[in-house]
Amino acid sequence: MINIWKILVLCFFIFQFAFLHAQEKPMVGKSQKIETIDGKEYYIHTVVKGQTLYSIAKAYEVDLGLLNTDNPELKEGLKAGMQLKILVTKETKAVTNPQKTTSETKENKTTKEVKDKEAKDKEIKKDTIPTKLNKQCKSEPHTEVFDVALFIPLYLNELDSVKYEDIEQAKHSNSSRPLRFIQFYEGLRIAADSLKNLGMSLKFHVYDVDEDSVKTKKLLRSPEIAKMDLIIGLTYGSTFQVLVSFAKQKNIPIVNPLSNKRQNIEGNPTAFLANPTVKAMAASICEFLFNKYTNERILLVSSNKENEKKTLKVISQGFENLKMQTDKKGPEIIDTSLGDAVSNLSDLLSKSKENVILLFSNDELFVAEYIRKLLLLSEGYQLTLFGMPGWSEFKSVESAALLKLNYHSFSASYVDYKQKEVNDFLLKYRDLYKTEPQDFAFQGYDIGDYFFSALYYYGKDFYQCADQYTKKCLQTCYVFKSDGKDGFENTWLNIYKYVDYKMLDARK
């Protein structure tokens, strides 16, 4: 059984994967059917099997973004038989009547296309400096083949230690390192497959890396890696530092799906952190509380641990920054670290306002005791407890207590199983891999969904437009920001509330 495992995993990961080729598309003819909808004229185009959004947009000479805006059903993918609305403009009308197009007009059009291409080439050359973000980003399809390198710890040398005959038992075993990140790759492939409908082509190059940075340096000597259009580094510490240095030297966009350490993007404007840094998380929490509880009272609380006090100071400063930026008074902020002295808690609470207690601590004993004190006061005050993720796993904290205290929390990742997109992914994943997706599967899909889409719409230099390209994915949103010198960090944080023993989006 072990030998079969080895063959399967080697075949699955080591070799370069086949192109996701778009099939040859049938010609797109312009529809003669025009309808007036809400005072505007639209072509009604019936999609023929094999046509792509790009070929349709090109035939009608309309912007791809406008096509998506006018036809929200395209979010579910382009399907044969679908009827699309395409706005009638002066340009499309001129093209609709070929008998009015003279040879002189054709010649002028050809000359104009040549000049436009020359101007575009000059613009591209002028914008190759990665520290200068392109503020005139135009979304348009790129149908060339993109090479994507995935550096992932497969630990293939440890395959012989895998003793399970049941693949599901092996996948969920902490001792089976060769199987730990398989679901990330599986989610990534589903994201790539979903973009084939747009006519996108990807070629994957998968490399087995681990904590050995010397091994990684040797691997990077391969000439093919220097030609990558995107690097996904599912690695930690020194190994990622080797990858990010290489990516900077070769001007290749690189993303770290695991880390939230800002040092991984410093000095490299083509690097991305998929997870928000502590500072970015603090800013999101402050903004949410500042806007939602403008006229209420907020208590900032932590234990006596220095690292928790330090983070609380960052949050406190975040509120001060918002006051200066918005020129608003905002909520009443009481910045205190009570430690174990919680006997005077009632003196800090307001009877006329809602009291939001931001309890920033992962000390289970301290949290449990503080919650007990709050419960004793819950009948006489309006209380909302904003705490750390993972409290529901504390054995000494009852779910009923969190429910009574209107518990809110946050996370870089949150999956809402009521969303149609999430359920579509579940069905695809189960069908393909005959198992349930875990955290890495959702994360892999989201990384692919954002970065493959960015390649498709903005090309291999998409990082120049990343500050303008945001996308809601399955477990997070990607809202990347950069100062132009360092790389991009995701600034989005999921904030949810505990209702009927379920976590719901607090922003809705």
Per-residue pLDDT tens listing for the chain (508 residues): 344 444 444 444 433 333 333 333 456 788 888 998 888 888 999 988 778 777 787 788 877 667 877 888 877 778 888 899 988 875 555 444 333 333 334 444 445 554 454 444 444 333 333 333 444 688 888 989 999 999 998 877 666 555 555 555 555 554 567 677 889 999 999 999 988 888 899 999 999 888 888 989 999 999 999 999 999 999 878 899 999 999 999 999 999 999 889 999 999 999 999 999 988 999 999 999 999 999 999 999 888 888 888 888 888 889 999 998 888 889 999 887 544 444 478 888 999 999 999 998 889 999 999 999 999 999 989 999 999 988 878 999 999 999 999 999 999 998 988 899 999 999 999 999 999 999 999 999 999 999 999 999 999 999 999 999 999 999 999 999 998 889 999 999 999 999 988 888 998 8
- Specify the 3-state DSSP secondary structure of 50: coil
Contact predicate 476/413, CB 8 Å: yes
Portions of the chain given CATH number 3.10.350.10: 24-101
Query: Which of 501, 495, 300 is CA-nearest to residue 401?
Result: 501
What pLDDT does 187 receive? 95
> For residues 300-309, b (16+ Cβ closer than 10 Å) or e, as one string?
bbbbebeebe
Task: Provide the residue type at 229 as one letter.
Answer: D
Portions of the chain given CATH number 3.40.50.280: 279-411
What pLDDT does 337 receive? 58
Task: Retrieve residue 423's tokens.
Answer: 């359920």
CATH level 2 (architecture), domain 24-101: Roll (3.10)
- DSSP E strand boundaries for 400-484: 408-411, 471-472, 477-478, 480-481
What pLDDT does 132 receive? 38
With residues binned 3-state (H G I as helix, E B as strand, rest as coil), the percentages for the chain, rounded to 5, are: 45, 15, 40
What pLDDT does 134 receive? 44
What pLDDT does 308 receive? 85
CA distance 302 to 450: 36
pLDDT in tens, 424-483: 999 999 999 999 999 999 999 999 999 999 999 999 999 999 999 999 999 999 999 998
pLDDT in tens, 120-134: 444 433 333 333 344
What pLDDT does 162 receive? 56
What pLDDT does 1 receive? 39
Task: Retrieve residue 491's tokens.
Answer: 């600034």
The CA radius of gyration of the chain, in Å to the nearest whole number, is 27
Portions of the chain given CATH number 3.40.50.2300: 145-275+425-478
Task: Retrieve residue 299's tokens.
Answer: 């208590």
CATH level 2 (architecture), domain 279-411: 3-Layer(aba) Sandwich (3.40)
What pLDDT does 11 receive? 43
Contact predicate 374/390, CB 8 Å: no
What pLDDT does 400 receive? 92
Q: Name the CATH superfamily housing domain 145-275+425-478.
A: Response regulator (3.40.50.2300)
> Which residues lie below 8 Å from residue 394, measured CB to CB, with a gap of 6+?
364, 367, 368
